[in-house]
Amino acid sequence: MQKPELYALEVEEAGHAISAASRLLTRLLDFEQFCHKVNASHFTKLLRKVLKSDIPLYHKDWVAACLVKLSYLSGPNFDNDNPINLEVTLYETIPRLIEQMKTSYSREVEEASVVELNRIISEEVVNSTRAVAAEGGIFPLVKVLENGSERAVEAALAILYNLSMESENHAAIIAAGSVPILRRLVLAQGSHWMRALRLLRTLPT
């Protein structure tokens, strides 16, 4: 077995084990007697490292759920400079929503994912636009402009506009084929033409 394949297998196996352990810990935290004995800060530090690790995304759902539960147990003053909810959003929620946009054949799932992603971006969650770009979210967002529902297109335009405020994203937005799609939206004079024009004007075309 080649080294990359061996590494992938090890990561997958580690992901299974971590997910199972996180699920068990999450359920144990429902018991008051266990909560009094558990070292919440220790497990929180461990799971935060896992959340940022290379284990497959589908193994991180229980890690995220466990972290949120531990944060309530640790109290409101635990690590205010880098809150757990922010890390869960950046390292689990945003990647999961983008993955759903890339892989789902359901327009309803696609729409729900884009709308939720737009809600996160519009709330100005710290580093959320960078997380979207880093996770490869630009290409599926541009695809939504072409094939998505009215609501999904509106949300995708809003997200891409926010991403376009950072010039380093311009090349990826253009490479994804956004310019001809945006021009068609503008020429069609439909419900999204003003948003499309606003985005088009931010790009170096």
Q: Residue 182: pLDDT above 70?
A: yes
CA-wise closest residue to 121 among 129, 113, 111: 129
- Domain boundaries, position 76: 1-82
* Average pLDDT of the chain, as a whole number: 90
Q: Which of 24, 56, 82 is the last residue of a domain?
A: 82
In a shared domain, residues 75 and 106:
no
In a shared domain, residues 167 and 101:
yes
In a shared domain, residues 107 and 200:
yes
With residue 147 as reference, give the H or E element that holds it: helix 138-147
Q: Residue 131: pLDDT above 50?
A: yes
Per-residue model confidence as pLDDT tens digits over 82-108: 588 899 999 999 999 999 999 988 999
- Can you tell me the distance from the alpha carbon of 68 to that of 155, in angstroms, rounded to the nearest whole number? 27
Band (pLDDT 50/70/90 cuts) for residue 66 is very high
pLDDT, position 62: 93
pLDDT, greater one: 201 or 126 = 201
Domain tally, the chain: 2
In a shared domain, residues 13 and 64:
yes
pLDDT, position 1: 46
The identity of residue 106, as a single letter, is S
pLDDT, position 72: 80
- Can you tell me the distance from the alpha carbon of 25 to that of 47, in angstroms, rounded to the nearest whole number? 11
CA-wise closest residue to 202 among 177, 170, 178, 172: 170
Q: Residue 183: pLDDT above 70?
A: yes
In a shared domain, residues 157 and 93:
yes
Band (pLDDT 50/70/90 cuts) for residue 186 is very high
pLDDT, position 54: 85
The average pLDDT across 62-74 equals 88
Per-residue model confidence as pLDDT tens digits over 114-128: 999 999 999 988 899
In a shared domain, residues 73 and 104:
no
Where residue 8 falls (left for φ over 0; alpha for ψ -120 to 50; beta otherwise) is alpha
